[in-house]
Structure formats: C-alpha cells, structure tokens
Structure 1
C-alpha cells in the first residue's frame, strides 16, 4: 500500500486533459540514444518495454507552436531566476499531450541530466532522477519537505490520512498505525489474501468451464478488472473488516468506492481545482456524484468504526501484537487501532486513516499484478520458471506466511514489475525552507540551491530505468535483484547490495541505496509495503498455480495511461486456460 498514490502537480499539468480525453501511449517499438559514456559501456541497452518514439532536441524545437513559445517566454520572465543555477528543460505545452508526462521527464533526463529545472509557463519545478539527491530529500533532510500540492489535492478525499497529513498529524498517526503492521498481523493477512484470491480463482474456473467454446478450452477476459476486484476485497477485510465481495457481486458501496477512485484520479490530472469553487459541489454533476459517493463510503466507515468501538478491548500495544490471530474473528487494522491503549482518536481521524489505506492500497496492488502478468506473458520461459517454483513450493496447497519465504522467484517478479512500472511514477515534495540539493552523479559539485516553496518531482520512473544505476534497465530481469552491483564511477552511491538489509523478503531502498523506491523512503515511507507485496505475491502465485496466461493481442496493443497509477486504457485482455501440465 504505497504511501504515495501519486498525483502529478496541478501546475505541471497545466494543459493535461482528463484521463478519458487524452490519447494514450502504445508500447511502440523504438530505441533511445544514451549518453556516450553509457552507450560505450552498454551498447546493447534498449527500451524493450514501455517504448516511445523519442524526438531529439532540435526536432522538438522545430515542432513547437506559438503556445509553446509563449509558455517558455512567460517562464523566463516570471520564474527563470527563482531556482538556483541548474540545467533547464523548457517544457513545451505540446509535450503534455499524446503520451504520459513521465515519458517526457525521461527524455529530458537523458538530455539534461539527473537534476534539472523544468519550466512551464509561470512556474518552474526541479526534477530529480538521482538516488543521491532522492536520499537527501526523503531521508537525510526529510522534515524540510512536505507533500505540497499533493496534500492540497487529496485533502478533500483523505482528510488528514497519512499521505496528505501535515507533519505534526503525520508524526502522531505514524506512531499509532505503524505498529499495526506487525508480524502476527501479516501472518493473519496472508490467510485473508489466500481466501480472497481463492474466490477469484474459483470465479475464473467457473467462467472457463461455462464460457469456453474452442478446443483449447480457453476464455478471454480483462485480468486488470479481476485484479481490481480482488484488491478491493482484500483491503476491505484486512483494513476494516468489511467484506465488499466485489469479486462476485456489486453493491452501492462498491460503486461508490470506484466512483471515489475515479474522482481522485480526475483531480490528479486536472489543472484548475474547480471543485474548490463555492457551490461547485452542488452545481457540477460529477462533483454532486462525488459527494454522494463519499457520503455512502463515510456512512459505511462510520458504522464500522462505531461497531469496533462498541466492542473495544483496550490493551497495551505489546499485548495487541501478541494476540492469537488464528482465533480472532476480526483481525483488521481497525480493530488494532481501536483497541490500542493511549491511542484514543476521534472518529473523523480514523475515517481519514481508513479512506487513505482504502484508496492507496487498492490502486497499487491491482496495477502491480496487471503489469507482472503483462511482463510474464511476453516471457514464456520466465513464466514456466515461476510456475515450476509455485508447483515445487505449494503443490496443490495454498500459500502460507512460511511458503511466501520460499517463493523467491515470485517475489522477485513482483518487485521487478514495480521497478519497470512504479506505482506511482512520481513522488512530489515541496521545500519548507531553503536548501541545497546535492549535485548527484555528474551534477554540479557544490549542489543546487533552492528557495523555500520549491516543488520537486522525484521521478521514480527515471530512477528505476536509469542507465547509470541499472544494467539493461528496460529489460524484464527478476534475477537482477540477487546480484550485487556497484558503479565505481559514482562515489556517493553505495550500489546495490542484497546483504545490506538482512532478513528482508523484498528488495527495498536500503538495498539499492535509493535507486529503487517502490514505496518511497525515509520517515514517510509507506507503512503498508509488506502488506502490499505479500498480497501481490499470494495472488500471482495462485493465478500461476491454476492457469496458463497469454495476451489476447500483441504487447503493442496494450495502451498505457496514467493518473494515480500506471494502468491500461482498455484493460489487460488475456487468454486464460487451465494449466496444460495439470491435465
């Protein structure tokens, strides 16, 4: 459940259209040019996965229109000197149309380096694609930054939940919520993951039995939609002990949850915050619907909170972490928060906490599973290796907390999918006071001075696909996380070393020294990272245990759009059939 269901800065998306309006980027075959030093070291590096035609700087300038030129003139006049001396990428307004924004950020990264100023109209931003600088912002100087525009966008939905919370509220809630994700709780949650995943597998088996008409006994369906329903059921049961049952049914609450998710994504990519205009919530149809959806969810959460408090069994946090979860009917995080002695909190704050985890946890897991299957379907040998591991570890049994530890290859597939398709592709921060950012690799030796109020984009997508910190960065290679790697040219980067975080089931920012940030890093890192990773591991293992999966069309036909997460435009349509080697 990454702490950042990230929304692009409204100002940076000055002319971004709504998700349903812009043309998505297809996975089109092309290559990109690396800087000479990198190209000489790795001449075979290519963009094998999300690929997009790159246009060189001169071609871009020649294609700029009057609006682009006016935007850049305005930038130079109003904000050109507000941020310290650093390479500048003049963002053409036309760059915001036709493909996801983070693709443009990647092109500018290759052109201008790991720290550059992005100029759009009257506003300038700092884009960071370097682990040394990311480490400074997220860990070493973390409390000099807040979530900035992200908090402004999310506050009407998540209130003072962990993601948009101000620093003081965050410190209080983090101390209460983090202990809830203890080992015995995660063990209990694996049983929830298995139960919910089993529902999905049963549904798919019934569809296969009743809907197949060809000799291969296969069906075609949108796996992204199935993963979305599965993730919602898991979050409901695991976080607040509510069974949405969305795998097999629809209800007003389920519809309201998805309506709220869509509105959150709409707000992430719409420039003018018209929803803050007085009376907009009553005049604008989609805002009326949003308020109605929010009321349905709030009524549901309020009822759950009220019931939990009526059956409260207050005790110390240490005793809560030693509960016998095997004999506990309600093992939810809400139960833990309500029962914790000394953690009394009003219902509104609990509602904000639950809403944050509902939205953040649902979107991310669905996306991770979608792209893991997309990648495996293009690599049959890796899929067979994954199925062989599942057969060896699970046989015909169900995943358990202990068996997850032995599903090493499945775990690596999940994190490799997160590396190639980070959820979200951007982290947003705003400086609370003036600071000096490190120069990073090949940057200015003395660093870059920034004033208070500077908006920073930490491009997780760029970090995860940087040719400086990863070998063959655009290849799907789950095995890469087992190999120690250090680039001797980069003095301030400790390299990738699995032994740096002993006992960790999944690679993290410590192992990669902030070159890998699937859940952020530092104090405000996501508290539910292990929950999300284990959930994805169980669901993927059970899918591969039962079915063979192929893409319905070509990889290029799977079109990509972004908002809160990286997802598909029209779903991940696959051909599903019973495992051929199980017949």
Structure 2
C-alpha cells in the first residue's frame, strides 16, 4: 500500500515551502515518448495529448536555456561525475514525467542527474542501485517531502510517518495481515466481486429485454467502487456498498481521493495560504469531506474499543477468522495487548490503508482488462484456466493458488503499469550509490539532502533486464532468466522465493517492484494481489470483454497512480460458451 501513493508528492512545494523550478514537475496527459515504434505494440496503444514534440536542445527556448545556465551554476558540480540530463523546462508541460525519465534513461544510463534550474535529482533505473537504497541502506533515506502532501489526509499513517513512528506502527500493523486473516478475506473479495457481477448481469437482462446482447460500461469506475467496498470491509468492517448505492461517506471518500490527486498535480501549493481552507471552495469541500470520513472512522474506532477483547498477538492470529463477525484489521489493532494507541493514530492508520489500498486495486484491474482486451488469445487462455479451476464456483483461498495464469496477468499488468511509476527518497546522510549496470564502477557519492527518483517504470521496462520489455507476456514470470554477466544482479529465479503466490523483488533481485522492497515494502501486498486475482477471475468467469473503441482512444493520465483520462469503456457480453 505504501507504493500506491508514493508519487503523490512529485509536484509538492520545496523543502522550505517556496516555489522552485522543480515544482513544475506535475504529471499530465501526454504525447507518446520518442522511443515508441510499431514494434512496441502494448505501449503504442495509448494515445496521449500534446501539441508539440520534445524539441532538440538547439531549439530550446529562452526559459530552457536560462534554466540550464542556472543549473550549471548552482548544482552542476554537486554530484561529481554522474551523467547529467539537462532537462528542458518545456519538457515537463503536457507529458507525464516518467515518459521523459525513460527517454533520458536510454540516453544517459541507469543512474543520472536530472537538473532543472537550481534543483538536481538523481534518477535511478537499475535493480542493483535500487536494492542498495531500499534494502541494504533503507534507513539512510526518508520519504522527502511526501508528508507535505499526505499529512493533512493521512497524518502519521504508515506511509508518510517519520522513522520512529513508522517502526512502532509497522510492528503493530504487519501481524494483522497474517495467513488466517487473508484466508478469511477471500470471502470478502468474492462477496464484493459477486455484487459487481450481479449488477452486470441485471444490466444485461435489461438490455436483452430490449433486444440487445451487450452493455457498455466504464470498468475503471466499476473497479473503483469494488475496491472501495473491499477495503472498507477488510480494514475496518464498514460496508460502503458503493457498487450498488451512493452515500455521503462514499462521496466524501472520492472527494478526498480527488483532492489528493489534485495536490499531486498542481504545482502551486495554494492550500497552504492562510484562510485558503475557508475562502477556496474546493478546499472548503475537502475539509468537509475529511470531517465526514473522520466522523465515520471515529465511530468505528469507538465501537471497536467498546467491545475490545484484549489478547496477545499469537492468540489474535489463531482466532477463527472464517466464523467471527468482525475479522477486520481495526479489530486486530484494537484487541492487541500492549499496543494501546490513541484514536488519532488509529484514524491515521485506517485512512492510510483506505486511500492506498483502494488506488492500487482499481488501477491494476483497469490495466489488466485493457491489456487482455487487445489479446483475445490470452483472454481465452485465462478463461480456460478459470473454467478448469473454478467451474461455476466462486474462488477460495486454495483455488487462488491454482489460478496461476490469472495471477501472472495481474503482476504483468503491474510490470507494464506500475502503481506508482516513481518512488521518492531523500538521502539523510552522505551516501555512495553503486554505479549500476554500465555505470561508474566506483559509484557516485551524493550529499545529504539529495532527492532520488526511483523510476519503477524504467526498471520494469528496462531492455537490459527484460526480454520484450514493452510487450504483454504474463508467461515471462514462469521462466528463469540468467544474469547474463551483469555483475551484482542475480537474475530472475522463481525458486528463490519458494511458495510465493506472486513474483516479487526477491525472485527478480529488485528488477520487479510491484509493491516496493526492503523494510518499508507495502504491508498489504498479498491482500491487494489476492483481491485483484479474485475480481479478475470472477469477471472472466461470466463475461467476454472488449474495448468499446480502439486501444488508441484510451488516454493515459497519472497522479497517485497511472489511470485513464475518461474511463475504460468496454463492451460486456455473457460468455459465449454459456458460463
């Protein structure tokens, strides 16, 4: 869940709150990056909006030239011999930042300095360097200015928390996602997914009565509602019922999500201006929405505390989760002996899991369907597995293990569309980064305070570590890949993490980071991946899916996650084989 919102602060204000050149790095709808060609079928399906291509350096405008002069004067020597991508400020308008980072990665290598005006960033696109940052030296880095954006929403929740708070809360929260809890959650996943498929069936019945056999739906919106219902029940035992109804709480949750997105993509932090929360209409609405959610969460926390049944962690993990009325994470946190915590911290924990857990699932399901709809043979292969494993039954904890191809579709979707495309860290002390593949063998010394962009997007599509990096090939995760002489990288080996339901950073030696890695890896990764598997399997069990328009009509935008501009509009029909 940590990864799901890590990119919210890309456009946040500077360390001292003043506007700086780097604050123009907001993410928008884009034109295709220069590396596109007809061979890159999976990625070329996205049509992006921009009126002009990236201009060569010779044609850069006065603003670009002034920016680069300032860069060379103020930060040119601060990172030694590291390759430099002198960014044109104009490159940042109208195209997602991660597209430009990919272009510069191919040009300058796996570790380079990105300089805009007085501010320089280090961009990392290499698993050897990423492992050094996230696992081997995790506590030499923090989240930088992430808390500036997230603090009003998540407070001291697990993602933006300072190191001391994080260590304390991680010890308490991580045990809540234990095996018996996840097994019990499969029923939540199937019940909520069942609501969604039943809704689709009723719509199809209505269409059939009018002589039609297909319905058109925005599946991104439907997946968003489904994910909200699941996270509400699984985390704090509250049924939003958003698949079938609307309520003030549901509207407040979406309002808060939209505001978080707005703050991540609007480069002037006007909400910090005194009186803005009362004068600016959208800020008044945001604080109104936040109050509705907080009141709801406060009530749930009070109810949980009033019925507290204190126990040690081991006994909590051995409860009969399949048969108790409330199997939520909130119940676990409240009942844990010796983990007394104030209501505000619990509220921050729940809000963090609500926002982060919702975003990832909705996004991965959206892009999984987008990719499948362009590959009918892969849909048929997935449906054949669903028919063989499930028949007409709903998934169970055991059957999820047998839905291997569905699980691989989910992780391949996360490889091509990582959520988010960037992770951010800031060096707390002087650090020597490895040079990475084809980099300086002596590495690069970076001073304390250096901001680092870990480009998950570049990592997942690196031509050095992946075959056919831009193609949708779920089967790739079944094969071992040797390191091919890349010093410091162990290659891809599924046997490295025996029993794992999903490929992870251990199997790929940090070439694949669907949920981060190291100590601050997402605590809810298994929850999110299992719910995605269940939802996708139940959709394909009953329906055939195709895009309403061409793949090129699906426009891409980014904020907290990579998502569509106008929804993922699809045609749904009942399975032609009668399922």
Fold shared per TM-score above 0.5: yes
Query: Distance in 1 between the 2:11 and 2:81 partners?
Result: 22
Q: C-alpha offsets along residues 421-468 of structure 1, whole Å, 9 cap, x if unaligned?
A: 000000000000000000000000100000000000000000000000
1:26: how far off?
6.6
- Name 2:37's counterpart in structure 1: 31
1:397: how far off?
0.3
1:91: how far off?
1.2
- Name 2:399's counterpart in structure 1: 403
Alignment of 1:111-122 (within 5 A): 111-122=107-118
Unaligned stretches of 5+ residues in structure 1: 33-43
- Name 2:389's counterpart in structure 1: 393
- Taking a change above 3 Å as real, the CA distance of residues 382 and 309 of structure 1, as seen in their structure-2 partners, is same
Unaligned stretches of 5+ residues in structure 2: 15-20
* Residue of 13, 23, 47 corresponding to 1:14: 23
- Taking a change above 3 Å as real, the CA distance of residues 381 and 362 of structure 1, as seen in their structure-2 partners, is same
SS in 2 for 1:83: coil
1:46: how far off?
7.0
SS in 2 for 1:367: helix
- Name 1:61's counterpart in structure 2: 57
Query: Are residues 1:127 and 2:133 paired?
Result: no
Q: C-alpha offsets along residues 170-227 of structure 1, whole Å, 9 cap, x if unaligned?
A: 0000000000000000001010000000000000111111135786600111000000
- Name 1:36's counterpart in structure 2: none
1:49: how far off?
4.5
Q: Which moved more, 1:78-87 or 1:136-145?
A: 78-87
Query: Distance in 1 between the 2:33 and 2:119 partners?
Result: 31
Contact 1:13/1:270, CA 8 A, preserved across alignment: no
Query: Are residues 1:251 and 2:247 paired?
Result: yes
* Residue of 202, 205, 211 corresponding to 2:207: 211
* Residue of 541, 544, 549 corresponding to 2:540: 544
Query: Distance in 1 between the 2:292 and 2:509 partners?
Result: 43
* Residue of 144, 168, 172 corresponding to 1:172: 168
Query: Distance in 2 between the 1:58 and 1:416 partners?
Result: 29
1:283: how far off?
1.6
Contact 2:131/2:510, CA 8 A, preserved across alignment: yes
Query: Are residues 1:280 and 2:276 paired?
Result: yes
SS in 2 for 1:314: coil
RMSD of aligned C-alpha atoms? 2.1
1:336: how far off?
0.3
1:233: how far off?
0.2
- Taking a change above 3 Å as real, the CA distance of residues 573 and 411 of structure 1, as seen in their structure-2 partners, is same
Number of residue equivalences: 569
SS in 2 for 1:581: coil
1:122: how far off?
1.4
- Name 2:499's counterpart in structure 1: 503
- Name 2:224's counterpart in structure 1: 228
* Residue of 412, 415, 433 corresponding to 1:416: 412
Query: Distance in 1 between the 2:383 and 2:353 partners?
Result: 31
Query: Distance in 2 between the 1:328 and 1:25 partners?
Result: 52
1:276: how far off?
1.9
Query: Distance in 1 between the 2:474 and 2:211 partners?
Result: 34
Query: Are residues 1:432 and 2:428 paired?
Result: yes
Query: Distance in 1 between the 2:25 and 2:106 partners?
Result: 23
Q: C-alpha offsets along residues 261-295 of structure 1, whole Å, 9 cap, x if unaligned?
A: 01111111222222222222112211111111110
* Residue of 147, 151, 161 corresponding to 1:151: 147
SS in 2 for 1:338: helix
Q: Which moved more, 1:218-227 or 1:80-89?
A: 80-89
- Taking a change above 3 Å as real, the CA distance of residues 262 and 547 of structure 1, as seen in their structure-2 partners, is same
Contact 1:28/1:556, CA 8 A, preserved across alignment: no
Query: Distance in 2 between the 1:392 and 1:302 partners?
Result: 45
- Taking a change above 3 Å as real, the CA distance of residues 111 and 51 of structure 1, as seen in their structure-2 partners, is farther
1:489: how far off?
2.8
Q: C-alpha offsets along residues 501-548 of structure 1, whole Å, 9 cap, x if unaligned?
A: 001000000000000001000000000000000000000000000100
Alignment of 1:467-482 (within 5 A): 467-482=463-478
Contact 2:383/2:541, CA 8 A, preserved across alignment: yes
- Taking a change above 3 Å as real, the CA distance of residues 46 and 580 of structure 1, as seen in their structure-2 partners, is closer
- Name 2:306's counterpart in structure 1: 310
Contact 1:237/1:243, CA 8 A, preserved across alignment: yes
Query: Distance in 1 between the 2:148 and 2:540 partners?
Result: 41
Q: Which moved more, 1:61-70 or 1:432-441?
A: 61-70
Contact 1:64/1:92, CA 8 A, preserved across alignment: yes
1:92: how far off?
1.0
Query: Distance in 2 between the 1:27 and 1:63 partners?
Result: 18
Q: C-alpha offsets along residues 365-394 of structure 1, whole Å, 9 cap, x if unaligned?
A: 000000000000000000000000000000
SS in 2 for 1:301: helix
- Taking a change above 3 Å as real, the CA distance of residues 175 and 467 of structure 1, as seen in their structure-2 partners, is same
Query: Are residues 1:380 and 2:376 paired?
Result: yes
- Name 1:289's counterpart in structure 2: 285
Contact 1:23/1:98, CA 8 A, preserved across alignment: yes
- Name 1:449's counterpart in structure 2: 445
SS in 1 for 2:56: helix
- Taking a change above 3 Å as real, the CA distance of residues 46 and 231 of structure 1, as seen in their structure-2 partners, is closer
- Name 2:335's counterpart in structure 1: 339
Contact 1:199/1:247, CA 8 A, preserved across alignment: yes
1:496: how far off?
0.3
Query: Distance in 2 between the 1:392 and 1:485 partners?
Result: 29
- Name 1:582's counterpart in structure 2: 578
- Taking a change above 3 Å as real, the CA distance of residues 213 and 104 of structure 1, as seen in their structure-2 partners, is farther
Query: Are residues 1:489 and 2:495 paired?
Result: no
Query: Distance in 2 between the 1:63 and 1:460 partners?
Result: 30
SS in 2 for 1:165: coil
* Residue of 88, 94, 112 corresponding to 1:92: 88
Query: Distance in 2 between the 1:449 and 1:272 partners?
Result: 32
- Taking a change above 3 Å as real, the CA distance of residues 520 and 58 of structure 1, as seen in their structure-2 partners, is closer
1:75: how far off?
1.4
- Name 2:17's counterpart in structure 1: none
* Residue of 561, 564, 576 corresponding to 2:560: 564
Contact 2:29/2:558, CA 8 A, preserved across alignment: no
Query: Are residues 1:514 and 2:520 paired?
Result: no
Contact 2:3/2:423, CA 8 A, preserved across alignment: no
SS in 2 for 1:485: coil
* Residue of 338, 342, 345 corresponding to 1:349: 345
- Taking a change above 3 Å as real, the CA distance of residues 3 and 48 of structure 1, as seen in their structure-2 partners, is closer
SS in 2 for 1:220: strand
SS in 2 for 1:244: coil
Query: Distance in 2 between the 1:13 and 1:559 partners?
Result: 25
